[in-house]
Chains A and B, each alone.
Chain A
């Protein structure tokens, strides 16, 4: 891939410490403006840790230190002047557990816009509908927008969570194992949703499911023990990996 021009995010030499323990040992990764990048690797390999560094979720913890360069559309994510609130509006995140707030479906999806000060009912209505459509859940919930989002099934909740993020029109979407808490049918629906969004958004997905990575991602990066071992086109990684560790993991020999 010719990354120089098309990258939305370039990270160089990303290191992260829990206290004195180094958990990420210098990760270099670039992400294109559109399409899905999958981060794969065994548990504890650092892929989620790396993902959460991208929208500064580690700020919530006290003793985590992150270093390295993060160039997000020309801006340094970890610059002291960076407004994390603005940053997180541009870099949305979907978590492993479907986690709608204990409000109605409508209020959930409108949440981000209301935070930004949007009050106009028409604008909100339109954005809610568009986001729910984009997350392919509109047909299922359009008659129950005022019901609590907690009454939905896990898969529906996760798609509402995705709609909630999409409503704020992020430039980059981080997905932290978005289907691992769901049944196969719901997981399949989420995958379909992501595939439909692939042409409009840059997405980074952490996943434990190799088949999921191979189905939906354009590029794949393999993590092991806090190192990024190999990255490349998904097809290449899965058919003809360069490194032995990658080949071993993909063929299920460890991890």
Chain B
């Protein structure tokens, strides 16, 4: 009797293995969580240095239109740290790219899932995956050698600017939005299709009155994902946007984005200087924006969950 009680009370080998596995996965989780926390802490402390140690007004930073941190403005006596042109540049390329890419993405996704399922799966799927995997520098080079001259020949000027950035980004986020839309469309329950058809809907009516409507939350999520990618993309945009930190006058005048200014400038400034600190502030805006995109995605997801 005692022997059995002892045996039961003793931790068995499988329980030990179970605990070991649990411990490893918790460690991995903690590691990742620690990295995320540290990145946030680092970027935010650095980013705030502009406002605390350099005494820059937050509103001057967010809404000022003169970006030239290395030169002191004679009128105000402060360096030009107005980031509005960059914020507007980033938002403009992001929204325009999403606006143009979305109809194409939805059209392609509908074709792949509803119209030509077999060909869609065979040809389009690999093409989309390939597009996702192309390094952004390649997009940038193509943008610089094809898109920029094209824009120049039509609108004149240098061809560098928001329009070129938009076109390049549009191609870059198209596969992201498309493949996520494909997943959502595939997840629309089969019985929606069947009952729409059984009630006398044509295939097209079924697609746009039932399937797209049922898939709307998923499609919105896909678009926000694409926008998050566009907002954070640096290299390809930097190559075609012109990198002039002016308020954008038109879609075809050279402009700049948060990311392009960051990548161009971060290597040329001294740690702890104002010029360096404002770049960290830009990074902070990027980080907060990606947080916003993330929250947006979760919110849409939880709101539109299909029951």
B23 in the interface (beta carbon within 8 A): no
Query: Separation in Å of the B202 CB from the closest CB of chain A?
Result: 5
A101 in the interface (beta carbon within 8 A): yes
Q: By the criterion CB–CB under 8 Å, are A115 and B198 in contact?
A: no
From known contacts A85-B201, A112-B200, A116-B200, infer whether A161 and B195 are also in contact, taking CB-CB under 8 Å: yes
The B-contacting residues of A in range 181-231, CB under 8 angstroms, are none
The A-contacting residues of B in range 182-218, CB under 8 angstroms, are 189, 191-202, 205, 209-210, 213-214
The CA-CA distance from A57 to B194 in the complex, in Å, is: 8
B303 in the interface (beta carbon within 8 A): no
The A-contacting residues of B in range 284-307, CB under 8 angstroms, are 306-307
- Enumerate 20 A-B pairs (CB-CB under 8 Å) in ascending A order: A55-B198, A60-B197, A62-B118, A85-B202, A89-B199, A89-B200, A93-B194, A95-B191, A95-B195, A101-B195, A101-B214, A102-B213, A102-B214, A112-B199, A112-B200, A115-B200, A115-B202, A150-B307, A161-B195, A165-B199
Interface of B is mostly: helix
Q: Which of A55, A95, A103, A165 contacts B213 (CB 8 A)?
A: A103
* In the complex, chain A residues whose CB is within 8 Å of the CB of B198: 55, 57, 88, 92-93, 95, 165
Q: By the criterion CB–CB under 8 Å, are A168 and B199 in contact?
A: yes
Known: A112-B201, A164-B199. 18 other contacts (CB 8 A): A55-B198, A57-B197, A60-B193, A60-B197, A62-B118, A85-B202, A88-B200, A89-B199, A92-B199, A95-B195, A99-B189, A99-B192, A101-B196, A102-B213, A102-B214, A112-B199, A115-B209, A161-B195
Chain A residue at minimal CB-CB distance from B217 = A102
From known contacts A102-B213, A102-B306, A103-B213, infer whether A111 and B193 are also in contact, taking CB-CB under 8 Å: no
Q: How large is the interface on A (under 10, 10 to 19, 20 to 34, 35 or more residues)?
A: 20 to 34
Query: Separation in Å of the A201 CB from the closest CB of chain B?
Result: 15
Q: By the criterion CB–CB under 8 Å, are A99 and B195 in contact?
A: yes
Interface residues of B (CB under 8 A from A): 118, 189, 191-202, 205, 209-210, 213-214, 306-307
A86 in the interface (beta carbon within 8 A): yes
A65 in the interface (beta carbon within 8 A): no
Tally A-B pairs: CB < 8 A: 67
Which among B198, B202, B306 has the highest number of chain A CB atoms within 10 Å? B198
Which among A84, A95, A99, A116 has the highest number of chain B CB atoms within 10 Å? A99
Query: Separation in Å of the A6 CB from the closest CB of chain B?
Result: 25
Q: Which of A60, A84, A103 contacts B194 (CB 8 A)?
A: A60
A97 in the interface (beta carbon within 8 A): yes
Quick one: CB contact mask for A21-50 with B, threshold 8 Å, 1 for yes? 000000000000000000000000000000
The B-contacting residues of A in range 57-87, CB under 8 angstroms, are 57, 60, 62, 84-86
**Ordered nearest first, which 4 A-B pairs have the shortest CB separation?**
A89-B200, A93-B198, A99-B191, A112-B199
Q: By the criterion CB–CB under 8 Å, are A111 and B199 in contact?
A: yes
* In the complex, chain B residues whose CB is within 8 Å of the CB of A164: 195, 199
Query: Separation in Å of the B186 CB from the closest CB of chain A?
Result: 15
Which among B197, B199, B210, B306 has the highest number of chain A CB atoms within 10 Å? B199
* In the complex, chain B residues whose CB is within 8 Å of the CB of A84: 197
